[in-house]
Structure 1
Amino acid sequence: MRNYLALFVFLIPFSLRAQLEIGFRVGVNMSEINVDKIVANPLDFSDHKGIQLSGIFNFQLSKSLALQPELAFVQKGFKYAMEGGDYQEFLSNYFELPVLGELGVPLGNKLQIFVDAGPSLSYLLSAKESIFNADLNELSTSDIDFDLRKEFERLDYGLNFGGGFSLRFGRSRLRFDARYNVGLNEILTIDTTQAAYKLAKNKVTNFSIGYTYILLGKIKKKKDD
């Protein structure tokens, strides 16, 4: 946490002199948990689909390098098969703060491709669990009380890797991103009659479309040869 705050302080002077774009991202998540299996008969885990809504603050530090903090609402989760054909599903709602470094390569005046990477810090706002039968009919659902369910760790942190392309239209820009998040903190301990797991960590693949607008600074145009 201290290292995360130190990164912000270090980058503030550079950000104040940069071109600033603000905007949003809307996307779909495919999330699951990475577990350390410690017994012979593992549970059958599968991924969970959710949404992601992000506010974007893109600081263009140079022609090719940008710093992009985001404020995001992120749905993560997982599901696993139970005995008798039923399965249990967990849905977790996070507030997330990624800080990404972005390297872009312009291909003409409008098109740019980019790659990005950086850390993220997440806080678990709420969660619920549901049980479905083999015909996908919901049998029960309930909100999770974190005061009673001590196996949930509410703070998570991880690394993000991604890329995409964008199209510039005057001061506006459309973005198309793909991103992979690797959780580094243990977020859950599961003990069942089928198996026991420890060191459960989030893994999320995200696809999104976004829009940004140049709020401060001039539009950087490519010079004609």
Structure 2
Amino acid sequence: MKKSILGLFLLLSTGLVSAQTSVGIRGGIASSTYNYLPTAGTRGVEVPGIGGPTFAFVFEHFNSKNAGIEVNIQYLPSGFKQTTDDEDNPLTNETQLDYLKIPVLSSFYIGKSGRFQIKLGPHFGYLLSAKDIIREFEGTNPPELPTFGGADDDPSKIMYGLTAGAGISKLFGKSTLAAEARFAFDFTNPDAQERVFDMNFTTLEFTLAYLFQIKDKRKPN
């Protein structure tokens, strides 16, 4: 996996140097919220998610004025924490799902050295690990979310959805510092065994990024 990520990093860096291109890192905090339909025709249930630190390699390429593309190779922590309604003795189920996420975003900005940016595009990814941290109840009505990290579980590995972001950035010579908020809707249903009728989740991220310009497109004389 590490060799694959490094190979993709080098490939993108090499292929994007024909115009203004920057590479760097992005890091911050991510949190998730899960929604699921226990069975067909039942009411949807919202479950608080869990999250944590997220980080990514960033490739930013502008080949026209104020518009370009950004690709990230990102580690995204996710998961859910479901609790019973018993106020005297609440029970908890908690599951952690960690993904390798690759957003491919159209990027637009206004401003010169100080910029306001908006980004939008699809994302794809792969489930790196699934772990049931705590499991204290089962057999509720409506049915609770199932386990995903057990020996007999076979969660879906593929993730896909849409990501949107907005933020501000400041240029210092060839360096850029950026602060950004992102919201993503993921169509992924990790349950491949049809134990719940449908399932998806949303993710909110707050991050800082440092980019360094490796190529600047030169105007012809």
TM-score, normalised with respect to structure 2: 0.77
- Residue 100 of structure 2 aligns with an amino acid whose one-letter code is F
In 2, Cα distance between equivalents of 1:148 and 1:23 = 40
What's the offset of the Cα at 1:173? 0.4
In 2, Cα distance between equivalents of 1:57 and 1:42 = 38
Residue 74 (structure 2) pairs with residue 72 (structure 1): yes
| 2:152 paired residue among 139, 148, 155 | 148
| 2:173 paired residue among 159, 170, 190 | 170
The structure with the greater share of residues assigned to strand is 1
Identify the residue that residue 92 of structure 2 maps to in structure 1.
87
In 1, Cα distance between equivalents of 2:20 and 2:168 = 19
| 1:97 paired residue among 95, 102, 125 | 102
What's the offset of the Cα at 1:90? 1.0
- Calculate percent identity across the aligned residue pairs: 23
Kept after mapping to 2: 8 A contact 1:31/1:77: yes
In 2, Cα distance between equivalents of 1:45 and 1:113 = 33
Kept after mapping to 2: 8 A contact 1:189/1:197: no
Identify the residue that residue 120 of structure 1 maps to in structure 2.
123
- Residue 81 of structure 1 aligns with an amino acid whose one-letter code is T
Kept after mapping to 2: 8 A contact 1:19/1:60: yes
Identify the residue that residue 184 of structure 1 maps to in structure 2.
187
Q: Structure 1: any 5+ residue segments left out of the alignment?
A: 1-13, 134-141, 221-225
Kept after mapping to 2: 8 A contact 1:190/1:198: no
- Residue 203 of structure 1 aligns with an amino acid whose one-letter code is T
Moved more, 41-50 or 71-80: 41-50
Q: Structure 2: any 5+ residue segments left out of the alignment?
A: 1-14, 137-146
Equivalenced residue count is 193
What's the offset of the Cα at 1:50? 1.7
What's the offset of the Cα at 1:122? 1.0
Identify the residue that residue 48 of structure 1 maps to in structure 2.
50
- Residue 80 of structure 1 aligns with an amino acid whose one-letter code is Q
Identify the residue that residue 32 of structure 2 maps to in structure 1.
31
Change (3 A) 1:44 1:98: closer
Kept after mapping to 2: 8 A contact 1:22/1:215: yes
What's the offset of the Cα at 1:42? 7.3
Kept after mapping to 1: 8 A contact 2:35/2:44: no
Alpha-carbon deviations, 1:165-203, whole Å to 9, x = none? 101111000011111111113222799xxxx74211121
What pairs up with 1:185-200 in 2 under 5 angstroms?
Answer: 185-188=188-191, 197-200=196-199
